[in-house]
């Protein structure tokens, strides 16, 4: 649903319009000024001590924000502890409803899934898997082997050995990168895992035989059973496949899909498998699956069912369509609260919303923020990826303010001062574009003795002039503080006749981010 509205540092546009009306009413309009690098003749810094009503108090009262609305105005910003890894946590197990370490302490895995390995094998490489751990901050990668699609294991007899080898190497790459790995049998178009049970048995006999000693491997035996597939069908399939894995890897965690594209947790909770080291898959796409499915997750975990979200996206269930950041952030918040592990779909440059890389990106490692799609940027932001600057991620995800002459914007708002900016003029000179900004503030709280505001831009900015303030440009940011004679702003007063001129690229504009 586009960019998430109303970030914490910025007020709604309705408030901005109200501020402009109030400022204009007391003669503090931000009139456009033409030409030159000097402020208009007679410009003086003024603090106008004329109490006024806070603009939002003049608007119709809004109802209290709901939980969902509050989540829409914030990202999933909770601090997440350092991720457990195979080298620190070792082999995992299931205790009650929780994935745990050997001592029974809760463990949460957070990471990414490949797309079908038959179509996008290039991302399975040591350099990139190390990057996933060290740069992205993931601690798990899922290796998706389709069963019945073109190139799928059950259809292409000539490709089976290559797919087996790629999965085994993928787990080994993950182990070397200190990542857990989920080996996924990607049931989808075949709907019922019983359809190709013979192929699944062959696949898991081979890969578990090669990986039985690996402490980092988890087996997901059926991705998304669907159509008329019942839990009884899935359970019968699991009771045939799980013993094959257990013969080679008796202690591995195994994840079993649930009916209706791995959404019907209640069916599994009513009749769970007897194996205590089994978890049950839940899949969601945030723009399609919202409160009802979140409630189902909470209910299942509260009832003691161990759940692993082995696949999710933040767009529609088709993998395309709009992104719903508000719903995605609610999902992340809930999974973090429940210590439920989650894996984002997908590592590919496919031309779809759910792909993490842009369609034109041919890289297989060494990714930058410019290579990532909107979902990719959301993911590294959510993972608080250590290899990406938080500010650069925020800027990459930011909304750019209108930079046309005459454009007005609320640049910064807090409990005390609200700063309105206007692009009073813009012009070209010497191959650069100059922007003259004029600014005014309203104080709706207690009086202050000094003030400051930091203005973020979407590119490198050069300060060319400033009046009635102290200003300093650094990279993409402009820090502005009061002058000696206009720092004292009583409650209810306004600051006016402050401004600056900056230059930069033609698309230079103020951005909004947290």
Catalytic residue among 311, 352, 375, 438: 311
Name 477's Cβ contacts closer than 8 Å, sequence gap at least 6: 454, 455, 456, 457, 461
Helix (H, G, I), strand (E, B) or coil at 298: helix
Q: Residue 429 in 3-state DSSP? A: strand
Strand partners, 390: none
Is 311 catalytic? The answer is yes
CA distance 215 to 278: 16
SS3 (DSSP) at 340: coil
Residue 277 structure tokens: 């080291």
34 contacts: CB under 8 Å, gap ≥ 6: 425
Q: Which of 72, 131, 220, 224 is catalytic?
A: 224
Please check whether residue 203 is in contact with residue 164, taking contact to mean a CB–CB distance below 8 angstroms. Answer: yes
Rounded (to 5) percent helix, strand, coil in the chain: 30, 25, 45
Which neighbouring-strand residues pair with 146?
186
Entry field: residues in the chain? 514
Report helix, strand or coil for 445. Answer: coil
Per-residue tokens: 214: 């690996």
CA distance readout (Å), 124 to 112, 314, 372, 429: 12, 23, 18, 50
| Coil, strand or helix at 407 | coil
As a whole number of angstroms, the distance between CA 139 and CA 132 comes to: 8
Distance in angstroms between the alpha carbons of the first and the last residue of the chain: 19
Supply the residues annotated as catalytic. Answer: 224, 311
């Amino acid at each position: 649903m586009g960019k998430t509205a109303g970030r914490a540092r910025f007020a709604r546009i309705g408030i901005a319009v109200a501020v402009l009306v109030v400022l204009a009413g007391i003669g503090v309009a931000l009139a456009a000024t033409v030409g030159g690098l000097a402020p208009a003749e007679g410009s003086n810094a003024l603090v106008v001590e004329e109490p006024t009503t806070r603009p939002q108090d003049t608007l119709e009262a809004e109802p209290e924000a709901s939980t969902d609305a509050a989540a829409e105005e914030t990202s999933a910003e909770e601090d997440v502890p350092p991720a457990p890894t195979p080298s620190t946590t070792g082999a995992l197990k299931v205790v009650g409803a929780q994935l745990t370490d050997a001592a029974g302490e809760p463990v949460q895995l957070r990471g990414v899934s490949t797309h079908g390995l038959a179509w996008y094998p290039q991302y399975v490489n040591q350099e990139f898997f190390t990057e996933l751990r060290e740069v992205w901050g993931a601690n798990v990668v899922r290796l998706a082997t389709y069963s019945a699609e073109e190139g799928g294991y059950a259809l292409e007899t000539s490709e089976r050995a290559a797919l087996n080898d790629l999965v085994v190497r993928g787990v080994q790459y993950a182990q070397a990168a200190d990542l857990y790995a989920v080996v996924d049998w990607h049931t989808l178009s075949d709907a019922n895992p019983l359809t190709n049970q013979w192929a699944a048995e062959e696949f898991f006999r081979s890969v578990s035989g090669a990986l039985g000693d690996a402490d980092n491997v988890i087996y997901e035996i059926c991705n998304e059973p669907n159509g008329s597939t019942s839990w009884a069908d899935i359970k019968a399939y699991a009771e045939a496949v799980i013993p094959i894995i257990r013969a080679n890897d008796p202690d591995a965690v195994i994840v079993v899909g649930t009916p209706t594209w791995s959404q019907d947790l209640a069916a599994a909770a009513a009749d769970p498998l007897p194996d205590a080291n089994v978890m049950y898959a839940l899949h969601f796409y945030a723009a399609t699956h919202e409160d009802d499915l979140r409630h189902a997750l909470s209910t299942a975990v509260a009832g003691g069912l161990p759940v692993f979200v082995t696949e999710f996206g933040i767009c529609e269930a088709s993998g395309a369509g709009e992104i719903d950041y508000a719903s995605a952030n609610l999902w992340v918040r809930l999974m973090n609260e429940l210590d439920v592990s989650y894996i984002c779909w997908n590592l590919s440059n496919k031309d779809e919303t759910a792909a993490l890389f842009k369609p034109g990106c041919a890289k297989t490692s060494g990714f930058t923020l410019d290579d990532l799609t909107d979902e990719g940027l959301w993911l590294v932001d959510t993972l608080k990826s250590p290899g990406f600057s938080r500010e650069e991620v925020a800027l990459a995800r930011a909304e750019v303010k209108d930079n046309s002459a005459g454009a007005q914007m609320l640049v910064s708002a807090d409990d005390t001062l609200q700063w309105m900016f206007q692009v009073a003029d813009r012009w070209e000179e010497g191959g650069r574009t100059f922007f003259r900004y004029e600014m005014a503030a309203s104080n709706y709280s207690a009086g202050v003795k000094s003030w400051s505001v930091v203005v973020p831009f979407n590119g490198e900015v050069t300060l060319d002039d400033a009046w009635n303030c102290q200003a300093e440009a650094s990279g993409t940011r402009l820090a502005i503080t009061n002058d000696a004679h206009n720092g004292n702003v009583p409650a209810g007063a306004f600051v006016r006749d402050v401004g600056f001129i900056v230059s930069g690229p033609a698309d230079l504009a103020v951005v909004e981010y947290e």
